[in-house]
Amino acid sequence: MHRRDFVLGALGAGLASTGSMSLLSPAGMSANAAAAANAVPYGAAIRVDNLESDPDYAAAVRAYCQQVVGEGGLKWFDLRPDRSVFNFDQPDRLIAFADANGMTMRGHTLVWYAALPEWTKEITASEAEFELTHHIEVVVGRYRGRIPNWDVVNEPISEDPAKEGALRDSIWLQALGKGYIELAFRTAAATDPGAQLVLNDFNFEKTTEVCRQRRVAMLDLLKELSDRDVPIHALGLQGHLTGEAEIDKEGLSRFVEEVNGLGLDIYVTELDVIDNNLPAAQGVRDQISALRVRDYLTAICDVVEPKAILTWGISDKYTWVPIWFKRRDGLLNRPLPLDENFQPKAMMQVLQEFTRAGS
């Protein structure tokens, strides 16, 4: 049998058991009631400008999400145009939207190798500790008690640990060594002792040797942090899945089990399916993407119920994927659970199964 037939067959069988696909909210149940029934909160990364300019987008977010996270806004290059400036405009608008709609907001992200403004190149090794801790104190301090969980450190593991060493190069690693991670978590915990502090990263789920090495590197890091009693509460699995790549269900389940064994919770923080190499036919493409999401969430939820499941965007109308992974045939990317007209795709039904039922 051709591999694609198998993939679609397996997916078809899975979807058939859950009935027809229409809206997330079952007939007769309001979106809010459906949200309240969720065992695991569902959320999405949000572009706050579009919430205000596109009423259909805002309506979709209201209908489906119990959590939001800014796709940008809290990143250094948005927040820190200058060394002495903090511009909280975007996160303030997003948290106002979240509060008004009974949603919680995640904070993304305090320390990352990327999305840094030019001026950060001037930070000297002796200034780095102050710049890092000051940034965390100001940002977490502003939202203390209001943003209940933070991606404190984002993507600390290198692309390919076997070749590059375990930790990803960054201004923080260069100036402060690997201790920058511990420093960031301790500072965040001291600033808001009630916040859930998350380490967030991607690419643990494929059957490749690189993914296996990345799981090993992440586990080593988490064990070290745990041995040192660093206040870290969860691992965020981003879940930017590659459409043509099978999920290593066994490898991912065992990884989640080991992480959970360290006393850490699991969040799924940035789920989407990079579909530039999938077939053009919309139905086929959407089914393969839904299958990847199903396999990914199955591998995780078989072991532990995630604290939340968030996709990186909600509609194909607004997604980062074409920035890096535009399709050669010129068709739009379809990485997210709603299409560009905010209609639910097979992926939304899969998300619904995992958020409604829990694990």
- Whichever of 35 and 44 has its CB closer to ligand 9MR, that residue is 44
State in angstroms the smallest separation of the CB of 16 from ligand 9MR.
Answer: 33
Residue nearest to ligand 9MR (CB): 320
**CA 309, CA 322: separation in Å to the nearest integer?**
23
**CA 183, CA 189: separation in Å to the nearest integer?**
10
- Whichever of 11 and 235 has its CB closer to ligand 9MR, that residue is 235
**Contacts with ligand 9MR, 193-232, as mask; x by CB under 6 A:** ----------------------------------------
Which of 11, 63, 71, 187 lies at the binding interface for ligand 9MR (CB under 6 A)?
A: 71
Q: Which stretch binds ligand 9MR (CB under 6 A): 70-78, 86-94, 166-174, 278-286?
A: 70-78
State in angstroms the smallest separation of the CB of 76 from ligand 9MR.
Answer: 9
State in angstroms the smallest separation of the CB of 249 from ligand 9MR.
Answer: 23
Which of 131, 182, 265, 270 lies at the binding interface for ligand 9MR (CB under 6 A)?
A: 270
**CA 136, CA 115: separation in Å to the nearest integer?**
16
**CA 74, CA 109: separation in Å to the nearest integer?**
6
> What is the enclosing helix (H) or strand (E) of 224?
helix 209-227
**CA 116, CA 165: separation in Å to the nearest integer?**
23
Output DSSP code: residue 169: P
Q: Which stretch binds ligand 9MR (CB under 6 A): 67-75, 87-95, 134-142, 186-194?
A: 67-75
- Whichever of 3 and 121 has its CB closer to ligand 9MR, that residue is 121
Active-site residues: which are they? 155, 270
Output DSSP code: residue 314: S
Report the candidate in 81, 179, 180 with the shortest Cα–Cα distance to residue 136: 180
Lookup: tokens for 149: 């969980």
State in angstroms the smallest separation of the CB of 115 from ligand 9MR.
Answer: 4
State in angstroms the smallest separation of the CB of 162 from ligand 9MR.
Answer: 22
Lookup: tokens for 258: 């080991």
Q: Which of residues 129-168 bind ligand 9MR (CB under 6 A)?
A: 154
Lookup: tokens for 332: 């739009």
Output DSSP code: residue 259: H
If one asks whether residue 320 binds ligand 9MR (CB under 6 A), the answer comes out as: yes
- Whichever of 71 and 275 has its CB closer to ligand 9MR, that residue is 71
Q: What is the DSSP string of 232-256?
A: --EEEE--EEETTSPP-HHHHHHHH
Task: Verify cis geometry, omega within 30 degrees of 0, for the bond prior to 109.
Answer: yes
If one asks whether residue 115 binds ligand 9MR (CB under 6 A), the answer comes out as: yes
Which of 75, 168, 317, 334 lies at the binding interface for ligand 9MR (CB under 6 A)?
A: 75
The radius of gyration computed from the CA coordinates of the chain, to the nearest angstrom, equals: 20
- Whichever of 196 and 238 has its CB closer to ligand 9MR, that residue is 238
- Own/partner contacts of 49-52, CB < 8 Å, gap of 24 or more, are 50/318, 51/93, 51/94, 51/97, 52/93
Which of 38, 238, 242, 298 lies at the binding interface for ligand 9MR (CB under 6 A)?
A: 238
Q: Coil, strand or helix: which one is 306?
A: coil
State in angstroms the smallest separation of the CB of 216 from ligand 9MR.
Answer: 21
Q: Which stretch binds ligand 9MR (CB under 6 A): 10-18, 68-76, 93-101, 257-265?
A: 68-76
Q: Are 39 and 353 in contact (CB under 8 A)?
A: no
If one asks whether residue 316 binds ligand 9MR (CB under 6 A), the answer comes out as: no
Residues that bind ligand 9MR (CB under 6 A): 71-72, 75, 115, 154, 238, 270, 320
